[in-house]
Structure 1
Amino acid sequence: MGNAADPAWIEQLKRGGALPLTGLDSCFNGWCSPPGDCFRVRGPDYFATKAKIAAGDWLLEPLAVDWIKSSSKIYDVLRHPQSRIAAALGNLDLIPGNSSSILSNSPTSPFVWAFNLQVPSKENYSAIIYFVSHHPFPENTLIDRFLRGDDAFKNSRLKLIANVVQGPWIVKTAVGEQAICVLGRTLTCKYSTAPNFLEVDVDIGSSMVANAIVHLAIGYITSLTVDLAFLIESQHPEELPERILGAVRLGNLELQSAVPLELMSGDSSSNSFPGESSFSSRLWKGFTSLLTPAGQSSTRPDDEDDDDVKDSSS
């Protein structure tokens, strides 16, 4: 975990950017790292008992959070010359000098994970969450197979847990106090990989349901505190228990704090996603419950029986 012994470049990145690094009890317009035990994940006997356990320590070290906006949707941050993370890695001679290069393949080089949450809005906000590891991942472990896997494998495994720590009733009703989502099943994800980094650009606007919920939450963003954890879903007994890759708390963000940054744009023509998921159905039911008069029902189908949506241990 992060401490005073961290290399200076890591501490500089943690405390730089538009959002300051704060403490857990003072996370106002900033970020911090909540304990892994704030989240519940599939335990060692999950497939027999459906029991979940406190997640424990993260696998990756928190590195930085960026809160930026652009005239177009933001992609490929770790390959862009205006990225402060890419610049720092370049200063470590891990990027050979131009924005199209990839990181070096040295086994002693840090491996950076970037999760770019593209917020659907006129200003094209992105909350980009970075983690870092300092050692190679053992071969044939779940994390190694995830990194080597194709986009279809990554889409089926990358999971997000979101806990609403503090917020107005209307947001908690729409989202629920905890939401669990395998991202690639619900949202469009673009993966940018290199020997020493993985970037996941998550298009929240690719789901009309998530789009509606985020637009609702944006109106209350200054009074909203959310914990986010990223993990690789365990789908076989030998992969249990689940482990969190990394977690971050975002507290009481202010839209005006986002730093303008002109980055590369991508194809944002699609505002729909293939198929339906129980996660999106849950969001829709929460959202429409606020808008639909008593005695009427929405046109969405009922939730599927999916343990990712409801914690079976509770």
Structure 2
Amino acid sequence: DTYRNQRFKLIPSIVEGPWIVKRGIGQKPALVGTKLHQTYHHGPNYLELCLDIGSSAIATASTNLCISHAEHLVTDVGFVLQGDEENELPEELLAAQQCRHIVFTDQKPLVRCNEYLRLQRLKQRKMTATSRAEAEAIQM
């Protein structure tokens, strides 16, 4: 994971929004794995990256700033794999997203990534245990 943490780069941009948000977020690329706790999950055809925003006071404050002004924001976020060697340059965009004027009504509190994953694993174990019990009951 150390290698991955050194590679995943996020490039934020506030396209529309209040000056305070534009100033607070900026457009500086960041290797988020050096600033946030990241968890990786993978299977045969996918790699999932979970960023724990709560692991950094600055990231938490930045997120709260954006949420408080979300209805007035248009944001672009680019994702790039960091190129360190000559053969890895120029870097190319891996993915991008745009969020426009999000309204957070009836929002639920954010659950930390690790807590969410722990709950998912518990749910999966419970389902597996239930399936085993049902299979054993059928065999009897």
User: What is the TM-score of this pair, normalised by structure 1?
Assistant: 0.34
Equivalent position to 1:218, from 67, 81, 93: 67
Rounded to whole Å, the distance in 2 between the matches of 1:255 and 1:186 is: 26
Q: Which residue of 2 aligns with 1:156?
A: 6
Root-mean-square deviation over aligned CA pairs: 2.3
* 1:256 CA drift (Å): 2.4
Rounded to whole Å, the distance in 2 between the matches of 1:171 and 1:219 is: 10
Count of aligned positions: 115
Q: Which residue of 2 aligns with 1:300?
A: none
Equivalent position to 1:243, from 84, 92, 101: 92
- Judging changes above 3 Å, is the alpha-carbon distance between structure 1 residues 230 and 258 closer, same or farther for their aligned structure 2 residues? farther
Equivalent position to 1:189, from 21, 35, 38: 38
Matched, 1:165 2:21: no
Q: Which residue of 2 aligns with 1:231?
A: 80
Equivalent position to 1:265, from 116, 124, 139: 116
Rounded to whole Å, the distance in 2 between the matches of 1:230 and 1:175 is: 16
What aligned pairs does 1:198-217 form with structure 2 within 5 A after superposition? 198-217=47-66
Deviation digits for residues 36-95 of structure 1 (CA, Å, limit 9, x no counterpart): xxxxxxxxxxxxxxxxxxxxxxxxxxxxxxxxxxxxxxxxxxxxxxxxxxxxxxxxxxxx
Matched, 1:256 2:97: no
Q: Which residue of 2 aligns with 1:174?
A: 24
What aligned pairs does 1:1-314 form with structure 2 within 5 A after superposition? 151-176=1-26, 178-256=27-105, 265-266=116-117
Which runs of 5 or more residues in structure 1 are unaligned? 1-150, 268-314
Which runs of 5 or more residues in structure 2 are unaligned? 119-140
* 1:265 CA drift (Å): 2.1
* 1:259 CA drift (Å): 8.7
| Secondary structure of residue in 2 paired with 1:202 | strand
* 1:213 CA drift (Å): 1.7
| Secondary structure of residue in 1 paired with 2:5 | helix
Q: Which amino acid aligns with 2:70?
A: I
